[in-house]
A and B are shown apart, each in its own frame.
Chain A
Amino acid sequence: MSSIQEIQQEIVEEFEMFDDWMQRYEYMIELGKSLPLIDEKYKTEEYIIKGCQSKVWVHADLNDDKIEFTADSDAIITKGIIAILIRSFSNQPPQEILDADTSFIDKIGLKEHLSPTRANGLVSMIKQIKLYAIAYQAKANSK
């Protein structure tokens, strides 16, 4: 399994192949469409992050000391970014998740989607991912 940094580097390289925003967006939309579905039972109020513009659902499970994230959104562009975030953060140990950042999103030209004023739920989703990592970390330490 690659580290978060390696995966993020890989994503940056993939996006470098495109010469304009249209291709980047088309690729991101494709990623959104191929995002593994979240279990319908997690698409509830409990797991929802309400942005003003789009909704996001996130769920986390611990498998072999690694956190597996699943998520979904009602907007496909938001979902595309979710796919990118999940690829980078899912199946990683809690500490790695806590140490990682999202500056790679700037490098692939999608920075505006992570703006807190965008109200699409993504900023809160990242916060949520970190909170899950803190929670699982605390749980592991207390064992």
Chain B
Amino acid sequence: MLMASATAKTTFNIEKIRKDFPILDRKVNGYPLVYFDNAATSQTPKQVIDAIVDYYSNYNANIHRGVHALSQEATDAYEQARIKIQRHFNIPNAYQTLFTAGTTHGINMVASGYASILKEGDEVLVSALEHHSNIVPWQMLCEKTGAKLKVIPMLETGTLDMEAFDALLSDRLKVVFVNHVSNALGTINPIAEIITKAHQKGAVVLVDGAQAAPHIKADVQELDVDFYVVSAHKICGPTGVGMLYGKEDLLKLLPPYQGGGEMIDQVTFEKTTYAGLPHKFEAGTPNICGGIAFGVALDYMNEIGFDAIAKYEHQLLEYATSKLQEIEGLRIYGESKDKTAVVSFNINGIHPYDMGTILDKLGIAVRTGHHCAQPIMDFYKISGTVRASFSFYNTFEEIDTFVAAVIRAKEMLS
């Protein structure tokens, strides 16, 4: 592994990258911070922090409304950020690149739109690997419309049962909702295949890209996906902002999600005509600074390069997996060949909460619990797991520290 780490270093300047993240110098409980909760939220490079400070220091104003200079500057920067996001995901037009408050918001925008489209007897398919934010809105939708919610089951390896998926494809199928990458297990789902097969049945597919975006540069046109949603805070951006991509005809078909300013064309008390895309879906003052910082975060990651990021993170994943597997009684959940840098595990007889508490005492941040994906935990008949998720600014040395801490915690707890 030393070799792998040495070659990685030649293409990947980890020391330089780490200097971009001020928080990595922090101590927690007297130990240098080891941040392995990247799947929950990523840390913020100083380039993004500077953009936020710059916005509030120099050109904070409301957008699209004023003729004055600051408003113009803010509007330009916000719209430029939209174009950066558009290019990043290879979205055909800027107006199909909608700003949202995050993945959850984007999913709800689509789900609530389908409430006026779906009818009783229609079918909606979700995967067993979903985050609660990709289950609950569809349950609500099905309750409202009388459509039937069906589930693509999972296999012991933490991958989707694609044979069962084939069997679930019916002519009544209208919408499929699946995540690109599972947050609890790191499984990369075969979304290209799911999209192709769903389209053959005339169904549309929404892909939750929240966990994929930090590792995979998705091309929405190549995937031919109908809707794609992400959150900026998992890709080095700030919280409370995200993106919804939709195919043009579908976005035109969906009714607006919220009423308010900015989204209207004409308002009289009899009738309001809605503005065109994207404004129809962007009522109210948006997270202007967040949107601008989102664009800067994508610039930052693209500068490093997603191929280099994926390659380096894969080495971290393999290193951590092999080291952890040496620990007796440790089981890793999620053994897909295609995985992002996530290790979800338990040690025989040790509660994940206890493991997480001791690791925290040693300065190591991991997530414990059901990861908002209770159906996966029910499948494995466990209450939760310990999840370590790595990012391109993590190091092999941090993994050594982490593995030593897991062993120490295991000794204390058993």
Contact = CB atoms under 8 A, between A and B. Distances in A.
Interface of A: 21-22, 25-26, 29, 52-55, 74-78, 120
B357 interface: yes
Interface string B394-414: 000000000000000000110
Contact of B368 (A25, A29, A53, A76): A53
B300 interface: no
B351 interface: yes
A76 B369 contact: no
A91 B412 CA distance: 31
Nearest to B408: A22
Contacts of A75: 351, 353-354
Contact of A29 (B29, B356, B369, B413): B413
Interface in B123-165: none
B351 A76 contact: yes
A75 B346 CA distance: 13
B358 A25 contact: yes
B361 A25 contact: yes
Contacts of B351: 54, 74-76
Nearest to B409: A25
A60 to B, nearest CB: 25
A75 B349 CA distance: 10
B7 interface: no
Given A52-B369, A53-B368, A78 B412 contact: no
A77 B361 contact: no
Contacts of A26: 412
B176 to A, nearest CB: 29
Contacts of B356: 53
B412 A22 contact: yes
Given A52-B370, A53-B384, 20 more contacts: A21-B361, A22-B361, A25-B361, A25-B412, A26-B412, A29-B412, A29-B413, A52-B369, A53-B356, A53-B368, A54-B351, A54-B353, A74-B351, A74-B383, A75-B351, A75-B354, A76-B351, A76-B354, A76-B413, A78-B354
Contacts of B361: 21-22, 25
Contacts of A53: 353, 356, 368-369, 384
B383 A77 contact: no
**A-B pairs with lowest CB-CB distance, top 4:** A75-B351, A75-B353, A53-B353, A54-B353
Q: Which size bracket describes the interface of B in this complex?
A: 10 to 19
Contacts of A78: 353-354
Contacts of A29: 412-413
A83 to B, nearest CB: 14
A22 B29 CA distance: 12
A79 B131 CA distance: 30
Contacts of A76: 350-351, 354, 413
B360 to A, nearest CB: 9
Given A21-B361, A52-B369, A120 B353 contact: yes
Contact of B357 (A52, A55, A74, A77): A77
Contacts of B353: 53-54, 75, 77-78, 120
A54 B383 CA distance: 9
B311 to A, nearest CB: 35
* Of listed B29, B350, B383, residue having the most chain A CB within 10 A: B383
A115 to B, nearest CB: 12
Nearest to A113: B357
A78 B352 CA distance: 12
A21 B358 CA distance: 10
A55 B382 CA distance: 13
A55 B354 CA distance: 12
Contacts of A25: 358, 361, 412
B258 to A, nearest CB: 29
Contacts of B412: 22, 25-26, 29
A75 B413 CA distance: 10
Contacts of B383: 55, 74
13 contacts: A21-B361, A29-B412, A29-B413, A53-B353, A53-B368, A54-B351, A55-B383, A74-B351, A75-B353, A76-B351, A76-B354, A77-B357, A78-B354
A98 to B, nearest CB: 30
A26 B413 CA distance: 8
* Of listed A22, A26, A77, residue having the most chain B CB within 10 A: A77
A77 B412 CA distance: 11
Given A26-B412, A29-B412, A29-B413, A77 B369 contact: no
